[in-house]
Amino acid sequence: MATLPDEFIKDKIADSHLIFQRGKDLYRYGSFFLSEEDRDKNIFIYDVDGNYGIYKNVITLNDDRLISTCTCPYPGNGCKHVVAAIMYTRKRIQENDIPNDDLDEKQAPYLSEKEIMEQAIT
């Protein structure tokens, strides 16, 4: 499956470089929710908090082909919601590709349960 680099998303998915930047910002701010994920079919469904309500965004990856839809009122196919959802989908795929054996508590990017308790007490 393709790695979906930023250049591909900017040049092939987003309708403009401005929309790409807005989608990247939306991704960073996390104004969306992964409501459904089917890893067998590589379908990811998002609820995106938009200007006029919640939009449904569907990303499907099949045989190195990407299909995206969004219910927002934007007239094109490469809206900022699609950009943000593809970036998050890329992250989900990359995280899932890491073997569990490679992660131990010392390398984890988060605090252990004991460290959380210690910080909460102090």
* Cβ–Cβ under 8 Å, residues 71 and 90: no
pLDDT tens, 78-89?
999 999 999 999
Q: What is the mean pLDDT of the chain?
A: 85
DSSP label at residue 9: I
pLDDT tens, 59-70?
999 877 899 999
Confidence of residue 95 (pLDDT cuts 50, 70, 90): confident
Record the pTM: 0.75
Tokens 């998050």 sit on residue: 88
Q: How many CB atoms lie within 10 A of CB 20?
A: 21
- pLDDT > 70: what percent of the chain? 87
Comparing 17-21, 50-54, 61-65, 73-77, the range with the smallest average pLDDT is 61-65
Angle (nearest 5°) at CA 25 between 8 and 54: 100
Q: What pLDDT is attached to residue 104? A: 45
Beta strands in 1-122 (DSSP E): 32-38, 43-50, 53-62, 65-70
Q: What pLDDT is attached to residue 27? A: 94
* Cβ–Cβ under 8 Å, residues 10 and 24: no
Q: What pLDDT is attached to residue 109? A: 63
Q: How many CB atoms lie within 10 A of CB 34?
A: 15
